[in-house]
Amino acid sequence: MEKTLRGVGVSHGVAIGQVRHMGTAVLEPPATQIPTEDAPREQARAQAAVEAVAADLIARGNLAGGEAQAVLEAQALMAQDPELMADVSRRIAVGSSAERGVYDAFAAYRALLASAGDYLAGRVADLDDVRNRIVARLLGVPMPGVPDSDEPYVLFARDLAPADTALLDPTLVLGFVTEEGGPTSHSAILARAMGVPAVVALPGAIEVGEGTVVAVDGSSGDVLLEPSQKKQDELRAVAAERKAALAASSGPGQTSDGHRVPLLANVGGPADVPAALENGAEGVGLFRTEFLFLDDSAKAPSAEKQVEAYRKVLEAFPGRRVVVRVLDAGADKPLDFLTPGDEPNPALGVRGLRTLLEHPDVLRTQLKALAEAADGLPVHLEVMAPMVADRKDAKDFATACREAGLDAKFGAMVEIPSAALRARAILQEVEFLSLGTNDLAQYTFAADRQVGALARLQDPWQPALLDLVASAADAARASGRSCGVCGEAASDPLLAVVLTGLGVTSLSMGAASIPYVRTTLAKYTLAQCRRAAEAARAADGAEEARAAAQQVLSGE
């Protein structure tokens, strides 16, 4: 029987195929007591398994490259955490087997993380994944994770750990669907980076039977169970048409009457540059430099390493804009050497620019590395700070940039409602704004972006969020400055039309979304974009805003 489930579409495209579930079985090793004389052997087994899993994660990272690589390397570090390992040893010394010691030590650490607040939900999934891998190795059973299959399939999971999303083979994995995870979660960002259709926060996903044929629409969030042959043919025809139109799309981002809105790429490092170029990115609108720092959370990467990575990205875009965001550490991206471990509420604590202003040496090194990397290159370098709250923040950042001798435009991300409301004051200090709608939604609705159950409030179609976007864009227009969007909102083609109508001047997104946004934007005039934006803002909820914009644009 045909049935439709609705989740949140986070990565465009249509996938039709059979369901394969992720191997997530929790392997609980027996709690048998081992004789004391066996402890050294068990210690050695545990150590060897940890090392092998860490090496495997690093190898997968090398294979995946880009943002995925940094995430996998962070997981490898997690596996080798000295405190965790010390706890494993203690447990083995009092009679645990290697597998039971690992299992219990990770459980204790997990409980600690979970009690530290919801913000750590994403890291808990990573930790469970590392534990499962080590325990599976010790028990000699297959690794949990991506199913073995020679046939293409649609992957279903409760949530996807970065280690798994990195391994998804686009030629085999037609798309994926998760029960948990929000539209701005790590998994969603990685899926877009890979260009695989994906739907997250789909209630009932884990109960869909293995082998069920499904049709996944990564744009609408609809997942059809057992679609009829006729429906499958229809969807395939629409998808093929869309694909052909997308392949034919090229050139700069603009409305049908020629209003230019540059379409830029979000990148995490040099590995993401080829996809940006293939999809016709007109530059980079967000270079998330913190991925270079996640390799080793105990210290900053050397200036030389930074220069090398920055230069590789900057030299790929001669004559183009490249907007580099300085290190955004803290909250969901903690770094041991910078982030306080005892904050009661890290998302509201010392993170982003606040961290850098407390560690001016780290900021100075990064800015100087950027200056050196850009030296002699024909790129238009722009540098921006994350989590700017007010004019003083913007001023302190601009001063640091000037003191580092940086020849670039300085800008501020608008991720905190106060910055959107007082954008004019901020523009007294910096030259451009970039709306980080992921965090802006999180702070506007007091809804943790990592919690799938709050997806309704993180929906960037929420009219309150659109009001804040309008407020920042109006201030930028009045000041003769630019105001782009680099949060995930920019990758939704219909929302991109609305953002253009609100006065946003550029859109930056995961590279695979660029052709979708380009094609949709090119269908409407600027006046239509403005009318759609007005209709969306006049609505009372995200669903209603989307429907209102759709209605205006379809001329109903």
Contact 374, 407 (CB under 8 A): yes
Query: CB 438 → Mg ion: shortest distance, Å?
Result: 5
Q: Is 436 in the site for ligand PEP (CB under 6 A)?
A: yes
Among 197, 436, 484, 515, binds Mg ion (CB under 5 A): 436
Question: What 3-state DSSP class applies to 6?
Answer: strand
> What residues from 315 to 374 belong to the interface with Mg ion (CB under 5 A)?
none
Closer of 182 and 195 to ligand PEP (Cβ): 182
Closer of 483 and 535 to Mg ion (Cβ): 483
Among 261, 263, 486, 529, binds ligand PEP (CB under 6 A): 486
Assess whether 186 carries a catalytic annotation.
yes
The amino acid at residue 146 is V
Rg (CA), the chain: 24
Q: Which stretch binds ligand PEP (CB under 6 A): 143-151, 248-256, 434-442, 456-464?
A: 434-442
Q: Which of ligand PEP, Mg ion, none is residue 486 near (CB under 5 to 8 Å by kind)?
A: ligand PEP
Euclidean distance between CA atoms 442 and 386, whole angstroms: 14
Q: Which of Mg ion, ligand PEP, none is residue 311 near (CB under 5 to 8 Å by kind)?
A: none
Assess whether 486 carries a catalytic annotation.
yes
Tokens matching residue 118: 């919801």
Return phi, psi of residue 334, to 5°.
-70, 145
Over the window 239 to 278, marking each residue x when it contacts ligand PEP by CB under 6 A and - when it does not, the resulting string is ----------------------------------------
Q: Which stretch binds ligand PEP (CB under 6 A): 50-58, 233-241, 273-281, 437-445?
A: 437-445
Q: What is the DSSP letter of 555?
A: T
Q: Is 437 in the site for ligand PEP (CB under 6 A)?
A: yes
> What residues from 193 to 252 belong to the interface with Mg ion (CB under 5 A)?
none
Among 272, 439, 448, 492, binds Mg ion (CB under 5 A): 439
Closer of 17 and 460 to ligand PEP (Cβ): 460
Residue 521 CB burial class (10 angstroms; 0-12, 13-18, ≥19): buried
Contact 155, 176 (CB under 8 A): yes
Residue from 401, 483, 486, 529 carrying the catalytic annotation: 486
Query: CB 37 → ligand PEP: shortest distance, Å?
Result: 51
Q: Is 182 in the site for ligand PEP (CB under 6 A)?
A: no
Tokens matching residue 174: 């037609």
Query: CB 328 → ligand PEP: shortest distance, Å?
Result: 6
**In the chain, helix, strand, coil percent, each to 5?**
50, 15, 35
Q: Which of Mg ion, ligand PEP, none is residue 487 near (CB under 5 to 8 Å by kind)?
A: ligand PEP
176 Cβ neighbours under 8 A, 6+ residues apart: 154, 155, 156, 157, 160, 165, 168, 191, 196, 197, 198, 199, 216
Query: CB 485 → ligand PEP: shortest distance, Å?
Result: 8
Q: Please list the alpha-helical segments (H only) found in 359-491.
A: 360-374, 391-403, 417-421, 423-426, 437-444, 455-458, 463-479
Contact 6, 205 (CB under 8 A): no
Query: CB 530 → ligand PEP: shortest distance, Å?
Result: 24
Euclidean distance between CA atoms 329 and 353, whole angstroms: 8
Q: Which residues pair with 225 in a beta bridge?
A: 3, 214
Among 67, 73, 439, 448, binds ligand PEP (CB under 6 A): 439
Residue from 12, 186, 359, 529 carrying the catalytic annotation: 186
Euclidean distance between CA atoms 411 and 380, whole angstroms: 13
Shortest CA distance to 244 belongs to which of 512, 522, 519? 519
Euclidean distance between CA atoms 459 and 196, whole angstroms: 20
Q: Which of ligand PEP, Mg ion, none is residue 470 near (CB under 5 to 8 Å by kind)?
A: none
Euclidean distance between CA atoms 489 and 438, whole angstroms: 8
Query: CB 347 → ligand PEP: shortest distance, Å?
Result: 10
The amino acid at residue 226 is E
Give the binding site for Mg ion (CB under 5 A): 415, 436, 439
Q: Could you list the residues that contact ligand PEP (CB under 6 A)?
A: 286, 288, 328, 415, 436-439, 486-487
